């Protein structure tokens, strides 16, 4: 696990984490990505729920 590439990546990460501005920007980007996927999941579930309810309503009208 001590290949030069891994060592270089770890050194870069150490330097990156010491820069508070860059770290904050990175954290904000990651939060935005997580929020986006969370919202998309909720919207999808709500959309599917609305379709399901409307189909049930239509079936009740027919019966």
CB 16 within 8 A of CB 22: yes
| pTM score | 0.53
Domain layout of the chain by residue ranges? 4-62
User: DSSP code of 2?
Assistant: -
Q: 37-55 burial by CB neighbour count: b if 16+ within 10 A, else e?
A: eeeeeeeeeeeeeeeeeee
Give the separation between CA 55 and CA 47, rounded to whole angstroms. 12
pLDDT reported for residue 59: 72
Nearest to residue 26, comparing CAs of 41, 37, 15?
A: 15
pLDDT in tens, 7-52: 888 888 888 778 888 889 889 999 999 999 988 888 888 887 777 7
User: DSSP code of 63?
Assistant: -
């Amino acid at each position: 696990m001590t290949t030069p590439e891994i060592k270089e990546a770890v050194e870069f990460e150490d330097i990156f984490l010491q820069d508070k501005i860059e770290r904050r920007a990175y954290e904000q980007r990651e939060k935005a990505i997580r929020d986006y996927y969370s919202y998309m999941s909720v919207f999808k579930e709500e959309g599917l729920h609305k379709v399901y309810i409307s189909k049930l309503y239509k079936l009740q009208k027919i019966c």
